[in-house]
Chain A
Amino acid sequence: MIKSKKQLSVSAIENGTVIDHIPADSLFDVIQILGLNKLDKMMTFGTNLESKKLGRKAIIKLSNVFFDEIDLNRIALVAPQAKLNIIRNYKVVEKRVVEIPDEIESIAKCVNPKCITNNENVKTRFYVVSKEKVALKCHYCEKITDKENLVIL
């Protein structure tokens, strides 16, 4: 408890959301997916922090920002182990984990260069065929995009 207080003291927030256990190299993807670059709220980002689980992790603290579950699950593609703390009055009132949804819209790019989504102004749409390995089947060209080829739009 003492340790976590020390960490939070950098930017303890009164109300908001803390997203922890983001792989360090996915921080900018998470910012993009959640559209944080377009918000005018107070935010703190920490990255390349030591983590036993992830090697190097990133953390995001957002004042007065709350997400609904659907929005949060969108980050599961790039940060499947992310842990969320919802803060009210400086206290963690809720903890959440993320889960990859069954369908994914307009987050990832289809791996197939001949796909309509890479040739015309068409939003990507995928069916998640494997959650553990992250395999996305394109609704349009029916090709599989796997974790290795995953590019966030």
Chain B
Amino acid sequence: MKNRSLVSIADYSKKEVLRILELAVEFEKNPYQQLLNNNVIATLFFEPSTRTRLSFESAISRLGGKIIGFSDSSSTSVQKGESLKDTIKTISNYCDLIVMRHPIEGSARYASEVASVPIVNAGDGANQHPTQTLLDMYSIKKTQNTLDNLNIFMVGDLKYGRTVHSLLIAMSYFNTTFNFISPKELKMPAVYKLHLDNLGLKYYEHTDFTEYISEADIVYMTRVQKERFSDPIEYEKVKNVYVLRKHMLEKTKKNMKILHPLPRVNEINEDVDENMKAYYFTQALNGVYTRQAILTSILGIK
């Protein structure tokens, strides 16, 4: 993994994914280590994403690394019409690794082809966000003590949600059973179901929360956004259907945990937050350890 860019979750083999998750365990035990004292890391956020940027910057700072970069492109030469190629080639000279987020899909793959340093994709439009996937997997492994043979429920916008798509691909290495809960307009795309068919993995589709949720090991919630609907009336009909409430947790398994990539709007009722099964805030903390593992592994330090 040394010196190799991380653009898409498919860039890592199962073995490499497991190695990152093992390293993240070490960082959770000891998040403050002077490992990046001699490194400069650029965080280039061509579109703002405060949460992701701060998570990366926290990961770097806790390891003693220096950070250069910008949090949105409005004050940079990109605004003057500079090409992505020129921006990346120039900034490559100033750092050892580039973390980038960009609204254009495929921008991170392209950047990895023109940069002289490795690229870590922190989100390229609706395409990929692999560090989110790895932190989701870390959270699953930590709470279930395994990644194998789990039953994962994915809820909400399964059509456009890149986090659920990447998680599905990554978890399909581990004999996962999937349950998809979504409105008809936002169903899991056929290409992902075909992927599961080809691997012989089981999946079930529902249009609302079902009694089967009692079988879930993980409930992965996502936002259902109004702008995804062609018909606003459809949105009004379903907007309260995909909301998780405390009373729905009564018959769920003891080990069940609720994940959410955050930010949440109203899809998890606040009365769930105090429940033992709510894991989304710890999940965000796990992002710091996972990113420490990713950065040190690419820089060849771990």
* Interface residues in chain A, defined as those with a beta carbon under 8 Å from any beta carbon in chain B: 112, 114-117, 119-122, 138-144
Residues of A near B186 (CB, < 8 A) are none
- Does A116 lie within 8 Å of B107, measured CB to CB? yes
- Does A143 lie within 8 Å of B105, measured CB to CB? yes
Nearest neighbor of A138 in chain B, beta-carbon distance:
B106
Residues of A near B128 (CB, < 8 A) are 142
**B85, CB-defined interface residue at 8 Å:** yes
- Does B127 lie within 8 Å of A142, measured CB to CB? yes
- Does A115 lie within 8 Å of B106, measured CB to CB? yes
**What distance in Å separates the Cβ of B61 from its nearest Cβ neighbour in chain A?**
30
**What distance in Å separates the Cβ of B13 from its nearest Cβ neighbour in chain A?**
18
Residues of B near A114 (CB, < 8 A) are 103-105, 125-126
3 A-B pairs closest in CB distance = A140-B106, A141-B105, A141-B106
- Does B104 lie within 8 Å of A116, measured CB to CB? yes
Known: A114-B104, A114-B126, A116-B104. A140 touches B83 (CB 8 A): no
**What distance in Å separates the Cβ of A132 from its nearest Cβ neighbour in chain B?**
15
Nearest neighbor of B126 in chain A, beta-carbon distance:
A114
**B109, CB-defined interface residue at 8 Å:** yes
**Which one of B103, B106, B107 lies within 8 Å of A142 (CB-CB)?**
B106
Residues of A near B124 (CB, < 8 A) are 141
Nearest neighbor of B85 in chain A, beta-carbon distance:
A120
User: How long is the Cα–Cα vector from A23 to B85 in the complex, in angstroms?
Assistant: 39
User: How long is the Cα–Cα vector from A122 to B104 in the complex, in angstroms?
Assistant: 13
Interface centre among B103, B109, B124 (most CB of A within 10 A): B109
Majority DSSP secondary structure for residues of A touching B: loop
- Residues facing A in B197-232 (CB within 8 A) are none
**What distance in Å separates the Cβ of B95 from its nearest Cβ neighbour in chain A?**
21
Residues of A near B107 (CB, < 8 A) are 116, 140
**What distance in Å separates the Cβ of A14 from its nearest Cβ neighbour in chain B?**
45
**What distance in Å separates the Cβ of B81 from its nearest Cβ neighbour in chain A?**
11
**What distance in Å separates the Cβ of B261 from its nearest Cβ neighbour in chain A?**
19
Nearest neighbor of A139 in chain B, beta-carbon distance:
B109
Known: A116-B84, A140-B109, A141-B127. 17 other contacts (CB 8 A): A114-B105, A115-B105, A115-B106, A116-B104, A116-B105, A116-B107, A120-B85, A120-B104, A120-B110, A121-B83, A121-B85, A138-B106, A139-B109, A140-B105, A140-B106, A140-B107, A144-B191
User: How long is the Cα–Cα vector from A144 to B107 in the complex, in angstroms?
Assistant: 17
User: How long is the Cα–Cα vector from A82 to B68 in the complex, in angstroms?
Assistant: 55
Interface centre among A115, A120, A121, A122 (most CB of B within 10 A): A122
- Does B104 lie within 8 Å of A115, measured CB to CB? yes
Residues of B near A144 (CB, < 8 A) are 191
Residue-wise, chain B 54-66 has the 8 Å CB interface mask toward A (1 for contact) of 0000000000000
**What distance in Å separates the Cβ of B151 from its nearest Cβ neighbour in chain A?**
27
Residues of A near B85 (CB, < 8 A) are 120-121
Residues of B near A140 (CB, < 8 A) are 105-107, 109-110
Known: A114-B126, A142-B8. A122 touches B110 (CB 8 A): yes
User: How long is the Cα–Cα vector from A119 to B128 in the complex, in angstroms?
Assistant: 18
Residues of A near B110 (CB, < 8 A) are 116, 120, 122, 140
User: How long is the Cα–Cα vector from A104 to B83 in the complex, in angstroms?
Assistant: 24
Residue-wise, chain B 174-204 has the 8 Å CB interface mask toward A (1 for contact) of 0000000000000000010000000000000
